[in-house]
Structure 1
Amino acid sequence: MPLELVTVLKQRKFILNVGGKKYTTSIETLTRETDTFFTALFSGRSQLAIDPNDNNIFIDRNGQIFTHILEWLRTTNYFRLQGLLEILMNECFPDGTLLQSQHKKILNQFYHEISQRWKLIYKGSRDGFHADAFHSRCNNKGATITIIQSNQNYIFGDKDDEAVCHNSSYDPIFGKGADISARNGGTSRDSHYTNFPTTYSDTTEKGDTTFTGAKKFTLLEIEVFKLV
């Protein structure tokens, strides 16, 4: 067994430096679960990266994420992982501002992969609300998810090509019957409208107020994500 590992094993506690963030912990805590990164690290099969100046053990990982992992190892309480799940879910849809963590989880479930990653390829307030800006960034990109926010703070969207109409005069159109249509020009009041239900079924019986709050609505933001 390497001498540096023997030294660590003799200590009741030590400092772990994870990506520059330091934690005081013990081998007992880190190896509470079997067959993990840490059980392998302290088995002698791996080389420890020990700082000769302060004897900290360095691990080149994300220190922010490790905070939640360590809390879980200390308590074995599943709910300690909720913060970690929030971070990981936010990383699945980086750079967007419309979706909450619960929305991201539901959207990824559509693709049967909770950690599926997406790339923001279009944002109306950043790239422009005109149809040519939308289509130049979103057409023929494969699997996409389009998210729209209306002036009544409704957030709605669709996935794949159903939401990316190739009509150069329009921003996204949802459904072949234009259940929801965003006209060219973006945020003009009452320039966007809904004919729901036409293509889709109305399971709520709220008709054209289901997604947008009103038949005509003002568009505040559009975000389109591409499957990575």
Structure 2
Amino acid sequence: MTEAALTGRVALVTGVSRRKGIGFAIAQQLAMLGADVFIHSFSPFDASQPWGADRDGISAIIKDLQQQGTHIAHAEADLLDCTAPQQLMNAAIQAFGHIDILIANHAYSTMGNLEELTAAEIDKHLQVNVRGTLLLVQAFAAQHDGRLGGRLVLLTSGQHLSPMPGELAYVASKGALHQLTLSLSAHLISRGITVNTVNPGATDTGYASAELYESIRAAHPQGRWGQPEDAARLIGWLVTDEAQWITGQVLNSTGGRV
């Protein structure tokens, strides 16, 4: 895979709000491979969480991505709004004309076991993670003209490998994306779009307490957490021509941990 593998192609990557996150690593990897990249963020969500928003803001994220030498554009959008996916795609098309690659990396995530679940939290998870993703995929497919290089990558979690009883609403939403993979692939392959889903496993994006960090590190066969760059390298390869024969798959990038 050469550094110019994606030259002439345009990617839309959602959930790029922090340089510590998977979304930033994906956007950086695609730019390194030559793609122009439209990034989506929703910083208020990160700011409301214990890990916080990127300390230097979205302008610093854009500046870092521009160092790869490709064109970068950005829009902020709350995918809880059912009109946001189409608006986001419209903004990306206005910036670049056509989108070849969609990486649905965004996620709404809060902790909650069965006893703590509320209807509002279940709805938010499904609206952002499932409805928001499906509407964005719909908008992406509608603008794709059948040219070579159409790629859709969804991100799931590890709910199909081990139980996650403390994140039930999140599990429900990510499980839905997992199960959509094969059907979306069957629907879109005739339009020249491959569809794959990646489970990045436990990834060090700064959310874990010291106790949780050590517990997960010790459970990994390779003795470390996944890094955002691990998932980004896999996704970068999936959207190149080298992976054109791969579609309808859920890939676990977990360092051997199940």
Point out the structure with the larger strand share: 1
Larger Rg belongs to: 1
Same fold flag (TM > 0.5): no
TM-score by length of 2: 0.23
